[in-house]
Structure 1
Amino acid sequence: MEKASFSLRTILKLSFIGFIAGVILILPLKILYILTGNTAYILLFNFDYIPVLNELKPVWLFGYIFHFVTCICSVIGLFYILKFLNRQFSVFYYVAVYTVGGGALFFLTCLSEQPPAGNDFTAWLSWTLAHAIFGFAVGILVKKILKEA
Protein backbone atom coordinates (compact mmCIF):
# COMPACT_ATOMS: atom_id res chain seq x y z
CA MET A 1 0.00 0.00 0.00
CA GLU A 2 1.21 3.42 -0.97
CA LYS A 3 1.20 6.23 1.56
CA ALA A 4 -1.16 9.02 0.50
CA SER A 5 0.64 12.32 0.07
CA PHE A 6 -1.39 15.49 -0.21
CA SER A 7 -0.23 18.29 -2.48
CA LEU A 8 -1.99 21.48 -3.44
CA ARG A 9 -1.35 20.71 -7.10
CA THR A 10 -3.04 17.31 -6.82
CA ILE A 11 -5.97 18.78 -4.86
CA LEU A 12 -6.46 21.44 -7.56
CA LYS A 13 -6.37 18.81 -10.31
CA LEU A 14 -8.85 16.64 -8.42
CA SER A 15 -11.08 19.69 -7.91
CA PHE A 16 -11.01 20.33 -11.65
CA ILE A 17 -11.87 16.67 -12.28
CA GLY A 18 -14.74 16.88 -9.77
CA PHE A 19 -16.11 19.99 -11.47
CA ILE A 20 -15.92 18.55 -15.00
CA ALA A 21 -17.39 15.22 -13.89
CA GLY A 22 -20.11 17.17 -12.03
CA VAL A 23 -21.09 18.80 -15.32
CA ILE A 24 -21.05 15.36 -16.96
CA LEU A 25 -23.35 14.08 -14.19
CA ILE A 26 -25.83 16.89 -14.84
CA LEU A 27 -26.06 16.38 -18.61
CA PRO A 28 -27.78 12.98 -18.98
CA LEU A 29 -30.20 13.72 -16.15
CA LYS A 30 -31.06 17.16 -17.59
CA ILE A 31 -31.59 15.72 -21.07
CA LEU A 32 -33.78 12.97 -19.62
CA TYR A 33 -35.74 15.56 -17.60
CA ILE A 34 -36.34 17.68 -20.70
CA LEU A 35 -37.34 14.71 -22.88
CA THR A 36 -39.38 12.67 -20.39
CA GLY A 37 -40.01 14.71 -17.26
CA ASN A 38 -37.99 12.19 -15.18
CA THR A 39 -37.36 14.08 -11.92
CA ALA A 40 -34.07 12.44 -10.90
CA TYR A 41 -32.36 15.63 -12.14
CA ILE A 42 -34.00 17.67 -9.37
CA LEU A 43 -32.31 15.59 -6.66
CA LEU A 44 -28.85 16.73 -7.82
CA PHE A 45 -29.49 20.19 -6.39
CA ASN A 46 -31.73 19.36 -3.44
CA PHE A 47 -30.43 20.07 0.05
CA ASP A 48 -33.72 20.91 1.81
CA TYR A 49 -33.26 17.95 4.19
CA ILE A 50 -29.97 19.32 5.60
CA PRO A 51 -30.41 21.59 8.63
CA VAL A 52 -28.81 25.06 8.36
CA LEU A 53 -27.99 24.58 4.66
CA ASN A 54 -31.69 24.48 3.86
CA GLU A 55 -31.95 28.12 4.94
CA LEU A 56 -29.54 29.38 2.26
CA LYS A 57 -30.95 31.64 -0.44
CA PRO A 58 -31.21 31.80 -3.40
CA VAL A 59 -31.98 28.09 -3.45
CA TRP A 60 -31.04 27.59 -7.13
CA LEU A 61 -27.55 29.05 -6.58
CA PHE A 62 -26.84 27.08 -3.42
CA GLY A 63 -28.25 23.97 -5.12
CA TYR A 64 -25.54 24.25 -7.76
CA ILE A 65 -22.88 25.01 -5.13
CA PHE A 66 -24.06 21.99 -3.11
CA HIS A 67 -23.85 19.77 -6.21
CA PHE A 68 -20.36 20.83 -7.22
CA VAL A 69 -18.91 20.85 -3.70
CA THR A 70 -20.27 17.33 -3.22
CA CYS A 71 -18.73 16.20 -6.52
CA ILE A 72 -15.36 17.78 -5.78
CA CYS A 73 -15.14 16.50 -2.19
CA SER A 74 -16.16 12.99 -3.22
CA VAL A 75 -13.51 12.89 -5.96
CA ILE A 76 -10.78 14.09 -3.60
CA GLY A 77 -11.86 11.68 -0.85
CA LEU A 78 -12.19 8.64 -3.09
CA PHE A 79 -8.92 9.33 -4.88
CA TYR A 80 -7.00 9.34 -1.60
CA ILE A 81 -8.80 6.25 -0.29
CA LEU A 82 -7.94 4.44 -3.52
CA LYS A 83 -4.40 5.82 -3.44
CA PHE A 84 -3.95 4.32 0.03
CA LEU A 85 -4.99 0.99 -1.52
CA ASN A 86 -2.81 1.65 -4.60
CA ARG A 87 -5.91 1.53 -6.84
CA GLN A 88 -6.24 5.25 -7.68
CA PHE A 89 -5.78 4.72 -11.43
CA SER A 90 -8.31 1.89 -11.79
CA VAL A 91 -11.46 3.18 -13.53
CA PHE A 92 -13.37 0.14 -12.25
CA TYR A 93 -13.26 1.31 -8.62
CA TYR A 94 -14.57 4.78 -9.46
CA VAL A 95 -17.45 3.31 -11.48
CA ALA A 96 -18.25 0.75 -8.78
CA VAL A 97 -18.17 3.18 -5.85
CA TYR A 98 -20.15 5.93 -7.56
CA THR A 99 -22.72 3.52 -9.01
CA VAL A 100 -23.39 1.74 -5.72
CA GLY A 101 -23.06 4.92 -3.65
CA GLY A 102 -25.23 6.95 -5.99
CA GLY A 103 -27.87 4.22 -6.05
CA ALA A 104 -27.96 4.24 -2.25
CA LEU A 105 -27.91 8.03 -1.91
CA PHE A 106 -30.98 8.30 -4.14
CA PHE A 107 -33.09 7.38 -1.13
CA LEU A 108 -32.21 10.68 0.54
CA THR A 109 -35.11 11.90 -1.56
CA CYS A 110 -37.36 10.27 1.05
CA LEU A 111 -36.26 13.03 3.44
CA SER A 112 -37.57 15.71 1.09
CA GLU A 113 -40.96 16.83 -0.13
CA GLN A 114 -39.43 17.56 -3.54
CA PRO A 115 -39.49 14.98 -6.31
CA PRO A 116 -38.53 12.31 -7.13
CA ALA A 117 -40.44 9.94 -4.88
CA GLY A 118 -38.34 7.38 -3.04
CA ASN A 119 -40.21 4.57 -4.80
CA ASP A 120 -39.80 5.96 -8.34
CA PHE A 121 -37.85 3.10 -9.94
CA THR A 122 -37.29 4.92 -13.22
CA ALA A 123 -35.82 7.94 -11.42
CA TRP A 124 -33.65 5.63 -9.27
CA LEU A 125 -32.37 3.76 -12.34
CA SER A 126 -31.63 7.01 -14.20
CA TRP A 127 -29.89 8.46 -11.14
CA THR A 128 -27.81 5.32 -10.65
CA LEU A 129 -26.79 5.07 -14.32
CA ALA A 130 -25.86 8.76 -14.35
CA HIS A 131 -23.62 8.13 -11.35
CA ALA A 132 -21.99 5.23 -13.20
CA ILE A 133 -21.23 7.68 -16.03
CA PHE A 134 -19.89 10.12 -13.42
CA GLY A 135 -17.63 7.39 -12.00
CA PHE A 136 -16.38 6.49 -15.47
CA ALA A 137 -15.63 10.16 -16.22
CA VAL A 138 -13.79 10.56 -12.90
CA GLY A 139 -11.73 7.41 -13.46
CA ILE A 140 -10.77 8.36 -17.01
CA LEU A 141 -9.92 11.95 -16.01
CA VAL A 142 -7.83 10.79 -13.04
CA LYS A 143 -5.87 8.46 -15.33
CA LYS A 144 -5.45 11.14 -17.99
CA ILE A 145 -4.65 14.12 -15.77
CA LEU A 146 -2.86 12.61 -12.78
CA LYS A 147 -1.15 9.50 -14.14
CA GLU A 148 0.55 11.44 -16.90
CA ALA A 149 1.70 14.20 -14.51
Structure 2
Amino acid sequence: MDLPSPGRPSGLMFLLSWASHALRAEHAEGLAELGISPRAYGVLLRAHDGGLTQRQIGESCGVDKTTMVVTLDQLEADGLARRVPAPADRRARLVEVTPKGKRVLDQARQVSARIEADVLAALPEAEREVFLQAIQRLVTERLAGPGACGPAGSVC
Protein backbone atom coordinates (compact mmCIF):
# COMPACT_ATOMS: atom_id res chain seq x y z
CA MET A 1 0.00 0.00 0.00
CA ASP A 2 1.16 3.50 -0.79
CA LEU A 3 0.90 6.13 1.89
CA PRO A 4 -2.12 8.41 1.64
CA SER A 5 -1.28 11.80 0.19
CA PRO A 6 -3.07 14.69 -1.51
CA GLY A 7 -4.93 13.46 -4.56
CA ARG A 8 -5.20 9.89 -3.24
CA PRO A 9 -8.32 8.40 -1.65
CA SER A 10 -8.79 9.57 1.90
CA GLY A 11 -12.40 8.68 2.68
CA LEU A 12 -13.54 6.93 5.82
CA MET A 13 -13.38 3.40 4.34
CA PHE A 14 -9.87 3.92 3.00
CA LEU A 15 -8.56 5.44 6.23
CA LEU A 16 -10.12 2.80 8.51
CA SER A 17 -8.89 0.04 6.21
CA TRP A 18 -5.39 1.51 6.15
CA ALA A 19 -5.28 1.86 9.93
CA SER A 20 -6.67 -1.64 10.46
CA HIS A 21 -4.16 -3.20 8.06
CA ALA A 22 -1.19 -1.43 9.68
CA LEU A 23 -2.33 -2.23 13.22
CA ARG A 24 -3.03 -5.89 12.40
CA ALA A 25 0.39 -6.27 10.78
CA GLU A 26 2.14 -4.74 13.80
CA HIS A 27 0.09 -6.90 16.18
CA ALA A 28 0.83 -10.08 14.20
CA GLU A 29 4.54 -9.26 14.25
CA GLY A 30 4.54 -8.70 18.01
CA LEU A 31 2.62 -11.92 18.69
CA ALA A 32 4.84 -13.91 16.33
CA GLU A 33 7.70 -13.24 18.74
CA LEU A 34 5.67 -15.27 21.27
CA GLY A 35 5.00 -18.02 18.74
CA ILE A 36 1.28 -17.31 18.33
CA SER A 37 -0.99 -15.74 15.73
CA PRO A 38 -3.61 -13.05 16.35
CA ARG A 39 -6.27 -15.76 15.95
CA ALA A 40 -4.60 -17.95 18.57
CA TYR A 41 -4.39 -14.92 20.87
CA GLY A 42 -8.11 -14.30 20.41
CA VAL A 43 -8.95 -17.91 21.19
CA LEU A 44 -6.77 -17.89 24.33
CA LEU A 45 -8.33 -14.60 25.40
CA ARG A 46 -11.90 -15.95 24.98
CA ALA A 47 -11.07 -19.30 26.60
CA HIS A 48 -9.19 -17.82 29.56
CA ASP A 49 -12.15 -17.56 31.93
CA GLY A 50 -13.26 -21.12 31.11
CA GLY A 51 -16.65 -22.67 30.53
CA LEU A 52 -16.86 -22.05 26.76
CA THR A 53 -17.01 -24.71 24.10
CA GLN A 54 -14.85 -24.54 21.01
CA ARG A 55 -18.03 -23.77 19.03
CA GLN A 56 -18.91 -20.83 21.31
CA ILE A 57 -15.39 -19.45 21.08
CA GLY A 58 -15.36 -19.84 17.30
CA GLU A 59 -18.69 -18.04 16.99
CA SER A 60 -17.60 -15.18 19.25
CA CYS A 61 -14.40 -14.79 17.22
CA GLY A 62 -16.11 -15.14 13.85
CA VAL A 63 -13.98 -18.20 13.06
CA ASP A 64 -15.43 -21.06 11.02
CA LYS A 65 -15.45 -24.59 12.42
CA THR A 66 -12.56 -25.88 10.31
CA THR A 67 -10.30 -22.92 11.13
CA MET A 68 -11.18 -23.23 14.80
CA VAL A 69 -10.19 -26.91 14.82
CA VAL A 70 -6.86 -26.11 13.14
CA THR A 71 -6.22 -23.26 15.60
CA LEU A 72 -7.01 -25.46 18.61
CA ASP A 73 -4.91 -28.31 17.22
CA GLN A 74 -1.94 -25.91 17.09
CA LEU A 75 -2.63 -24.52 20.56
CA GLU A 76 -2.79 -28.07 21.95
CA ALA A 77 0.39 -29.09 20.13
CA ASP A 78 2.15 -26.07 21.66
CA GLY A 79 0.81 -26.94 25.12
CA LEU A 80 -1.17 -23.69 25.41
CA ALA A 81 -4.71 -25.09 25.55
CA ARG A 82 -6.58 -28.35 25.79
CA ARG A 83 -10.06 -29.57 24.90
CA VAL A 84 -12.02 -31.46 27.53
CA PRO A 85 -15.50 -32.99 27.37
CA ALA A 86 -18.25 -30.62 28.52
CA PRO A 87 -20.01 -32.03 31.60
CA ALA A 88 -23.50 -31.22 30.26
CA ASP A 89 -22.84 -32.53 26.73
CA ARG A 90 -20.08 -35.11 26.26
CA ARG A 91 -20.07 -34.41 22.49
CA ALA A 92 -19.10 -30.79 23.07
CA ARG A 93 -15.57 -29.79 24.04
CA LEU A 94 -14.67 -27.05 26.50
CA VAL A 95 -11.45 -25.18 25.84
CA GLU A 96 -9.12 -24.77 28.80
CA VAL A 97 -6.02 -22.60 28.81
CA THR A 98 -3.03 -24.41 30.31
CA PRO A 99 -0.63 -22.77 32.77
CA LYS A 100 1.82 -22.31 29.89
CA GLY A 101 -1.01 -20.81 27.82
CA LYS A 102 -1.81 -18.37 30.64
CA ARG A 103 1.83 -17.21 30.70
CA VAL A 104 1.83 -16.70 26.92
CA LEU A 105 -1.55 -14.94 27.13
CA ASP A 106 -0.20 -12.55 29.77
CA GLN A 107 2.77 -11.77 27.51
CA ALA A 108 0.45 -11.31 24.53
CA ARG A 109 -1.69 -8.89 26.50
CA GLN A 110 1.45 -6.90 27.28
CA VAL A 111 2.38 -6.84 23.58
CA SER A 112 -1.11 -5.64 22.68
CA ALA A 113 -1.10 -2.98 25.39
CA ARG A 114 2.35 -1.75 24.33
CA ILE A 115 1.28 -1.44 20.69
CA GLU A 116 -1.95 0.32 21.64
CA ALA A 117 -0.10 2.78 23.88
CA ASP A 118 2.49 3.42 21.18
CA VAL A 119 -0.15 4.04 18.50
CA LEU A 120 -2.22 6.31 20.72
CA ALA A 121 0.91 8.23 21.75
CA ALA A 122 1.03 9.50 18.17
CA LEU A 123 -2.08 11.57 18.98
CA PRO A 124 -2.09 14.60 21.24
CA GLU A 125 -3.17 13.51 24.71
CA ALA A 126 -6.39 15.54 24.54
CA GLU A 127 -7.49 13.65 21.40
CA ARG A 128 -6.83 10.06 22.54
CA GLU A 129 -9.94 9.48 24.64
CA VAL A 130 -12.16 11.30 22.14
CA PHE A 131 -10.79 9.11 19.34
CA LEU A 132 -11.37 5.89 21.29
CA GLN A 133 -14.89 6.95 22.29
CA ALA A 134 -15.75 7.83 18.69
CA ILE A 135 -14.47 4.51 17.29
CA GLN A 136 -16.24 2.58 20.08
CA ARG A 137 -19.48 4.37 19.32
CA LEU A 138 -19.21 3.65 15.60
CA VAL A 139 -18.58 -0.08 16.06
CA THR A 140 -21.25 -0.56 18.71
CA GLU A 141 -23.88 1.54 16.97
CA ARG A 142 -23.78 2.47 13.28
CA LEU A 143 -21.25 -0.15 12.17
CA ALA A 144 -22.61 -2.98 14.38
CA GLY A 145 -25.31 -4.07 11.93
CA PRO A 146 -25.38 -6.69 9.17
CA GLY A 147 -21.98 -7.37 7.72
CA ALA A 148 -20.19 -6.59 10.95
CA CYS A 149 -17.30 -8.98 11.51
CA GLY A 150 -18.56 -10.28 14.82
CA PRO A 151 -19.67 -9.23 18.24
CA ALA A 152 -18.41 -5.85 19.40
CA GLY A 153 -15.01 -6.30 20.94
CA SER A 154 -14.15 -9.36 18.87
CA VAL A 155 -10.38 -9.82 18.72
CA CYS A 156 -10.06 -12.92 16.63
Q: TM-score when scaled to structure 1?
A: 0.37
- Greater strand fraction, Structure 1 or Structure 2: 2
Larger Rg: 2
Q: TM-score when scaled to structure 2?
A: 0.36
